Structure 1
């Protein structure tokens, strides 16, 4: 639809995570640097936190796309997994036997797998998404997994990704032992005004945008104010904005066009603040 009208090669603001659309804002460059630093260290935990929609999943996909063949990575998304269920989930993610096994057998299988990979010159990386949902005993289980070593070398490295609540959890006194294993932590914040514009233009240019439609300064300002600089909100809103511009056959998106879309979406029962928080 609007792609053809504006001679674009695809959808610039799709919600699915695609590393090709990665925008190197100041904040996200720093975060990816921390992740790369963590990989070089080859041990301990790296914690990346931030509000919903600030780009944690994009950072992970960028990291995975850069990994060499000697790194075996798996990503798990947690839904309040208890420690025993989490161990089964991790084992399944690495294609290990897990059904009907006791916790001791699960741990033994995981340790044998980690030792085998290390002896073959491979490093094993576990990426835990939505880590704020893990019960404390599951976080403790992750810490214990990080104890696996051979010749003084850690066998498993773990990245914890989570929302703001994860910072609060890690600050608890009961998490002191886990905190001691965190070699780097970074908190993502929303984009500023200029980088919001940069983000929008970066994604548009990636699909062949040649300033049709033109987006005015006032329009960018209002988009920033409405989305608060959160990438996922920007994607959702700009997708609707381009659709609106197409239906109105606009070649300039100004403040009035943005206001029209804000009004349209505010009248839809399924498009409100809760839409952006899931």
Structure 2
């Protein structure tokens, strides 16, 4: 079929980052937040591309920005603090150190690094699953500052449950620190078409592979514009087209591809 790489990979492949308006806006604002001591929140339903935005940001941050990327939010406050220490210091804290000792050592390391021109950012994926105690630790870290600047940026990424958690009265001290609050939404029809064409263009040897207009319409309608669903459906559609010896994805092929996921997406 002429593809040099997998066009609709389910994994967050930063080489295929879609430069759609909301994703570019999220990328730009989170990149800025990482280098300027800000607290940023990005939420959205499953499959809208949150992790891909974050990993694209991390891939392109300047070397002086040190990132602690946490993908296991089901940690207590002490475990979370130790993980951040390990990410920033490149070694785990000595065994037996108390939480306050780890926090003090972490602060010293960040102060020394800041004096040398480094910036620090903590990025938490799946942040809607954080325990309240862990959120409090993150709030305290995000409050660390000198007279000139905040020392640690904090980026929270999660599903809409995170929005509801942050709106609780107990979360007011953290909520009032939020400088960027982004909410990803599904792609509309034109963006869905552009998303598919973008991935084909980057992976096909000739930069093109045809999806009929009716197939594109059907794919958007059935996937509701959710990028992860589009990937699943398009990958299946390409396999079906290849098996049939077709050089394009037609409406019957798109329909057949989506049938496999009908119960999951209902």
Normalised to the residue count of structure 2, the TM-score between the two structures is 0.93
Structure 2 residue ranges without an equivalent (≥5): none
Deviates more, 1:30-39 or 1:252-261: 30-39
Structure 1 residue ranges without an equivalent (≥5): 1-5
Deviates more, 1:227-236 or 1:203-212: 203-212
Q: 2:19 aligns with which of 21, 24, 27?
A: 24
Q: 1:197 aligns with which of 193, 197, 200?
A: 193
Q: 1:134 aligns with which of 127, 130, 134?
A: 130
1:79-124 CA-partner distances (Å, limit 9, x unpaired): 3211111111212222243233211111011101111110111001
Q: 1:81 aligns with which of 62, 75, 89?
A: 75
Give how far 1:62 is off.
1.6
CA contact (8 A) 1:265 1:272 kept: yes
Alpha-carbon separation, structure 2, partners of 1:252 and 1:67: 38
Question: In angstroms, what is the RMSD of aligned CA positions?
Answer: 1.8
State the 4+ residue runs in structure 1 displaced beyond 3 angstroms: 209-213
Alpha-carbon separation, structure 2, partners of 1:60 and 1:263: 31
Give how far 1:180 is off.
1.4
Deviates more, 1:219-228 or 1:85-94: 85-94
CA contact (8 A) 1:76 1:127 kept: yes
Alpha-carbon separation, structure 1, partners of 2:117 and 2:222: 49
Alignment of 1:147-186 (within 5 A): 147-186=143-182
Alpha-carbon separation, structure 1, partners of 2:157 and 2:64: 23
For these two proteins, the number of residue pairs brought into alignment is: 264
Normalised to the residue count of structure 1, the TM-score between the two structures is 0.89
1:38-62 CA-partner distances (Å, limit 9, x unpaired): 245x123110111111111111122
Give how far 1:263 is off.
2.7
Give how far 1:212 is off.
6.1
Give how far 1:30 is off.
1.8
Alignment of 1:83-162 (within 5 A): 83-94=77-88, 95-98=90-93, 99-162=95-158
Q: Cα 1:273–1:265, aligned 2, differ >3 Å: closer, same or farther? A: closer
| Pairing 1:10–2:5 present | yes
Alignment of 1:202-221 (within 5 A): 202-208=198-204, 210=206, 213-221=209-217
Give how far 1:211 is off.
7.4
Alpha-carbon separation, structure 1, partners of 2:42 and 2:261: 32
Alpha-carbon separation, structure 1, partners of 2:33 and 2:236: 38
Residue 227 of structure 1: aligned partner = 223
1:178-218 CA-partner distances (Å, limit 9, x unpaired): 01111111100010111111001100100125476421111
Residue 51 of structure 1: aligned partner = 45
